[in-house]
Structure 1
Amino acid sequence: MASGTPAAVQEPVHLVLMGISGSGKTTLAERLAKELDRAYAEADEFHSPANIERMRSGTPLTDADRAPWLESIRDWMDSAANAGGTIVTCSALKRSYRDLLRQASGRVFFLHVICDPAVITDRMEHRLGHFMPASLVPSQLATLEELGTDEDGAVLVNSGSVDELVEQALTIVADL
């Protein structure tokens, strides 16, 4: 670097692993956080007790229920931006939800994890200790708006091993 020339400052990159519940977001995010040495948050931890109770009882959340939740995730991403970026799991089912998350400082890149709905339902029926019932899979699929071609992101098909999914993701994020 020439004398007096400032080093380029790289903007933080936030990786949002999106998709319906049970698609494999959390498993992938935990592995990516270790591989990339990034701050990681599970969006479920940002839900209010009222939202958790609604979902536990099988009631889908409304956009109004989700707004404060999404804002708190965005704010967490902002607070961790100085560390170079974050990894967060969030269903981000609608474009409007992703638009809110994109307000975080830096670049927000979505990795949409998709999986066969029958596999997801089976996983959720056998998952212990989680508030989201398998009965909400159809409502999540009905609400899901695929990433638009103008949105910053990529689709990951979760049809193999966890290691294969991690490799797919690392290949994509290597170019960011």
Structure 2
Amino acid sequence: MTQDATTVVVMGVQGIGKSTIGRLLAQRLGVPFVDGDGLHPERNVESMAAGIPLTDADREPWLHIVGETLVAHKPDGGVVVACSALRRAYRDLIRSHDPDVYFVEPWGPIELVAERVGARTHEYMPAALLQSQYDTLEPLGEDEHGVRMSVIESPEAIVDGVAADLAGVGRSRA
């Protein structure tokens, strides 16, 4: 594995901007972007489409796939993956595959995010699941490798901040 590989997970609740920020960040870093939604087993997709929140047992295989995806891209320089990773235990599971993964947590008040969710169409994440995601969310801890950024800023400003942080510390931890 290359020492200069940058693996990033953009985490958070639905509608927070994970995919938008992840795509922009991947472009900035010159690495692929993977939307973690596409890594879910079909059973998870069916549950979410029916408005049923996932259990930890439902999430576990998916989180392993996310971790394996990070590792698979390290030899080629890295990857940015959008993945909710709402609980520290979920991030720990991902870190069990890639201890150097850098987490980006866009965050904002539920009212703002609910407004954004209401203005979009998602193939299987109904707006009704937003409150359950906020209830589950454990913000990125100070001892976790990564950064928490307000979504009041533009996606471009968030990416600027993340890129600056990665340039300062991210690559030195590889």
Q: TM-score, normalised by structure 1?
A: 0.89
**Higher-helix-fraction structure:** 2
Equivalent of residue 81 in structure 2, options 85, 88, 99: 88
Indicate yes or no: 2:72 matched with 1:79.
Answer: yes
Indicate yes or no: 2:81 matched with 1:110.
Answer: no
* CA deviation after TM superposition for structure 1 residue 106, in Å: 5.7
Contact in 2 for aligned 1:12/1:105 (Cα 8 Å): no
d(CA) in 1 for partners of 2:159, 2:117: 21
Indicate yes or no: 2:12 matched with 1:23.
Answer: no
Q: Find the counterpart in structure 1 of residue 130 from structure 2.
A: 137
d(CA) in 1 for partners of 2:71, 2:155: 29
Aligned residue pair count: 168
Larger Rg: 1
Go from structure 1 to structure 2 and tell me whether the alpha carbon gap of 1:129 and 1:137 turns closer, same or farther (over 3 Å shift): closer
Indicate yes or no: 2:166 matched with 1:173.
Answer: yes
Q: Find the counterpart in structure 2 of residue 33 from structure 1.
A: 26
d(CA) in 2 for partners of 1:48, 1:105: 21
Indicate yes or no: 2:56 matched with 1:63.
Answer: yes
Give the secondary-structure state (helix, strand or coil) at the position aligned to 1:44: helix
Q: Find the counterpart in structure 1 of residue 120 from structure 2.
A: 127
Per-residue CA deviation, residues 48-97 of structure 1 (Å, 9 max, x unaligned), is 12111111111100000000001111111111110122111111011110
Contact in 1 for aligned 2:24/2:156 (Cα 8 Å): no
Structure 1 range deviating more: 145-154 or 88-97: 145-154
Contact in 2 for aligned 1:12/1:107 (Cα 8 Å): no
* CA deviation after TM superposition for structure 1 residue 163, in Å: 2.1
Contact in 1 for aligned 2:13/2:86 (Cα 8 Å): yes
Per-residue CA deviation, residues 11-67 of structure 1 (Å, 9 max, x unaligned), is 533111111111011101111111111122110001112111111111100000000
Unaligned runs of 5+ in 2: none
Unaligned runs of 5+ in 1: 1-8
Identity %: 36
Contact in 2 for aligned 1:13/1:106 (Cα 8 Å): no
Equivalent of residue 148 in structure 1, options 141, 144, 150: 141
Contact in 2 for aligned 1:21/1:132 (Cα 8 Å): yes
Go from structure 1 to structure 2 and tell me whether the alpha carbon gap of 1:45 and 1:24 turns closer, same or farther (over 3 Å shift): same
Per-residue CA deviation, residues 130-169 of structure 1 (Å, 9 max, x unaligned), is 3111111110011011122221111011103222222222
Give the secondary-structure state (helix, strand or coil) at the position aligned to 1:80: helix
Equivalent of residue 51 in structure 1, options 44, 51, 55: 44
Structure 1 residue ranges, 4+ long, deviating more than 3 angstroms after superposition: none
Contact in 1 for aligned 2:48/2:126 (Cα 8 Å): yes
Contact in 2 for aligned 1:51/1:65 (Cα 8 Å): yes
